[in-house]
Amino acid sequence: MSELVAVILAAGKGTRMRSKLPKVLHKVGGKAMLQHVIDAATAAGCDDKVVIIGHEAELVEKMVAGQGKTALQAEQLGTGHAVMQAKEALAGFSGTAMILCGDTPLLDGEELKKFYEAHKASGAAATVLTAIMDNPFGYGRIIRDAEGNVKGIVEQKDATEEQKAIKEINTGIYCLECPLMFDVLATLTCNNAQGEYYLTDVLEKLNNAGKKVGGVITEDSDMVMGINSRKQMSVAEAVMRERILDKLMDSGVTIMDPASTFIEASVKIGRDTIIYPYTWLEGNTVIGEDCEIGPNARFTDVEIGNNCNLHFIYGHECKVMDDVTAGPYVHLRPNTVIYNKVKIGNFVEVKNSNVGVGTKLPHLTYIGDSDIGSGVNMGCGCVTVNYDSKKKHRTVIGDNAFVGCNTNLVAPVTVEANTYIGAGSTITKDVPEDALGIARARQKNIEGWAKKYRES
- How far, in Å, CA of 150 to CA of 420, rounded? 83
Considering only the stretches 108-116, 192-200, 265-273, 283-291, report the one whose residues sit in contact with ligand UD1 under the rule CB under 6 A: 192-200
- The residue from 89, 153, 263, 401 that contacts ligand UD1 (CB under 6 A) is 153
Residues in region 397-436 near ligand UD1 by CB under 6 A: none
- What are the counts of helices (DSSP H) followed by strands (DSSP E) for the chain? 9, 39
322: left (phi over 0), alpha (psi -120 to 50) or beta: beta
CB of residue 104 to ligand UD1, shortest distance in Å: 7
Judge contact between 44 and 37, C-beta under 8 A: no
Annotated active-site residue in 55, 316, 363, 393:
363
SS3 25: helix
Amino acid identity for residue 147 in this structure: E
Closer CB to Ca ion, 101 or 350, in the complex: 101
Buried b / exposed e across 253-271, counting CB within 10 Å, b at 16+? bebeebebbbbbebbebbe
Residues in region 356-395 near ligand UD1 by CB under 6 A: none
Nearest to 367 by CA among 378, 354, 383, 356: 383
Q: CA angle, corner 18, sides to 14 and 19, nearest 5?
A: 85
Closer CB to Ca ion, 226 or 381, in the complex: 226
- How far, in Å, CA of 408 to CA of 381, rounded? 9
CB of residue 86 to ligand UD1, shortest distance in Å: 11
Which helix (H) or strand (E) segment holds residue 204: the answer is: helix 201-208
Helix segments in 140-179, DSSP class H: 161-164
Considering only the stretches 59-67, 170-178, 312-320, 444-452, report the one whose residues sit in contact with ligand UD1 under the rule CB under 6 A: 170-178
Residues in region 14-53 near ligand UD1 by CB under 6 A: 52
- How far, in Å, CA of 241 to CA of 313, rounded? 22
Closer CB to ligand UD1, 54 or 294, in the complex: 54
Closer CB to ligand UD1, 170 or 370, in the complex: 170
Print the binding letters for residues 219-258 with ligand UD1: x by CB under 6 A, - otherwise: -------x--------------------------------
CB of residue 84 to Ca ion, shortest distance in Å: 18
> CA torsion 96→99→104→105, rounded to 10°?
40
- The residue from 102, 152, 327, 358 that contacts ligand UD1 (CB under 6 A) is 102
Which helix (H) or strand (E) segment holds residue 303: the answer is: strand 297-304
- How far, in Å, CA of 224 to CA of 254, rounded? 29
Closer CB to ligand UD1, 101 or 308, in the complex: 101
Print the binding letters for residues 62-101 with ligand UD1: x by CB under 6 A, - otherwise: -----------x--xxxx-xx------------------x
Using CB distances below 5 to 8 A depending on partner kind, what does residue 311 bind out of Ca ion, ligand UD1, none?
A: none
Residues in region 242-281 near Ca ion by CB under 5 A: none
Closer CB to ligand UD1, 172 or 345, in the complex: 172
- The residue from 45, 109, 179, 226 that contacts Ca ion (CB under 5 A) is 226
**Four-residue CA torsion sign, 264, 270, 272, 274:** negative
CB of residue 242 to ligand UD1, shortest distance in Å: 22
- The residue from 9, 40, 159, 411 that contacts ligand UD1 (CB under 6 A) is 9
Considering only the stretches 4-12, 111-119, 307-315, 372-380, report the one whose residues sit in contact with ligand UD1 under the rule CB under 6 A: 4-12
Q: Catalogue the E-assigned strands of 123-252.
A: 126-132, 141-144, 150-154, 168-178, 213-217
Considering only the stretches 193-201, 239-247, 281-289, 345-353, report the one whose residues sit in contact with ligand UD1 under the rule CB under 6 A: 193-201
Report if residue 198 touches ligand UD1, rule: CB under 6 A: yes
Closer CB to ligand UD1, 166 or 245, in the complex: 166
| Residues 303-312: contacts with CB under 8 Å, at least 24 apart | 305/340, 306/270, 311/276
Judge contact between 387 and 371, C-beta under 8 A: no
Determine whether 363 is an active site residue.
yes
List of residues contacting ligand UD1 (CB under 6 A): 9-12, 52, 54, 73, 76-79, 81-82, 101-103, 139-140, 153, 155, 169-172, 198-200, 226
Please identify every residue annotated as catalytic: 363
Report the interface residues with Ca ion, using CB under 5 A: 226
